[in-house]
A = this chain, B = another copy of it.
Amino acid sequence: MNPLILDGRKVAQSVKDELMAQICELKGKGVTPKLATILVGNDEASKTYVQMKANTCHKLGMESERVFLPEETTTDELLDVIQRLNSDHQVHGILLQHPVPSHIDERKAFDEIALEKDVDGVTSHGFGATTFQLGAYPCCTPAAILQVIDYYNLELEGKHAVIIGRSPILGKPVSMMLLNRNATVTICHSRTENLDQIVKQADVVVAAVGRPKFVKGEWLKEGSIVLDAGYNPGNIGDADYESCYPKSSAITPVPGGIGPVTISMLLKHTVEAAQRQLNTTKTHSNVS
């Protein structure tokens, strides 16, 4: 049987279809979900990403606020902007585009984002609350991976998932999310010995290492599921698709795999944040 190609564009569309209905309903109640994006500096790729996010917002009928800050912005000035957006009741979600210029304390800036507006799942508190399943918004790429898994009804319970990569916004959160779905999880990284032998045992491989064509087909167990979160220059994934495809039972292509789902998860979280804010307001007015 041919491997199943996991079509991220189809998954993203299904998410957006659901969102449009929810946004319509929210607007009927007088609330338009709004995402604020912050871009510091002049990185061209980052500009494109922020533009794409704003465009998708508008296509779905959401609002966006785009904050552009000059390259020389200090950490304190950035924190001020985040605080302003935290206290702006019109803003439901805040995204600080990564990376910021190197003189800025990015972690401090991320952690300044209010938990309830951290729709990009970048705060350390949000990571903890995601791990403990307390209803925080997970990072968008891990969330996209889970969305693809669920769309295709792929089984995780008791499966051995091997994650290659341990970054705060990808490897670590996806590991915790798969663990919470009852997978047995192995986290590998640059210091891992005998990586190929570990990958050989995986029912599910998540490639999140940031190196083009890193995962080879010969490492895979026959019939494994390959989820490629890589997005290297030239639209190249972290898995070597050509050699991985024939060994897998299901695989995400790059482009067209996890990538397109990621933005839709950002908007999904923003809509959820707007819904929660509305519910909180309702509860409060019932009480008063």
Contacts and interface: CB of A to CB of B under 8 A. Distances in A.
Interface of A: 107, 111, 123-129, 131-132, 134, 157-160, 166, 168, 172, 175-176, 179, 182, 184-189, 191-193, 198
Given A124-B125, A172-B131, A172-B176, A186 B189 contact: no
Contacts of A111: 134
Contacts of A188: 184
Given A131-B124, A132-B124, A134-B107, A189 B182 contact: yes
Given A179-B166, A184-B198, A158 B128 contact: no
A160 B179 CA distance: 18
A127 to B, nearest CB: 4
A191 B186 contact: no
Interface residues of chain A: helix, strand, loop or mixed (majority): mixed
Nearest to A166: B179
A107 B136 CA distance: 14
This chain's copy number in the assembly: 2
Nearest to A195: B184
Contacts of A107: 132, 134
10 contacts: A111-B134, A123-B128, A132-B168, A158-B191, A159-B193, A160-B198, A166-B179, A182-B191, A184-B188, A186-B186
Nearest to A198: B184
Contacts of A126: 128
A127 B186 CA distance: 19
Given A158-B191, A159-B193, 5 more contacts: A124-B128, A128-B128, A166-B179, A184-B188, A186-B187
B184 A192 contact: yes
A191 B186 CA distance: 14
A114 to B, nearest CB: 13
B131 A127 contact: yes
Contacts of A172: 131, 176, 179
Contacts of A185: 186-187
A129 B124 contact: yes
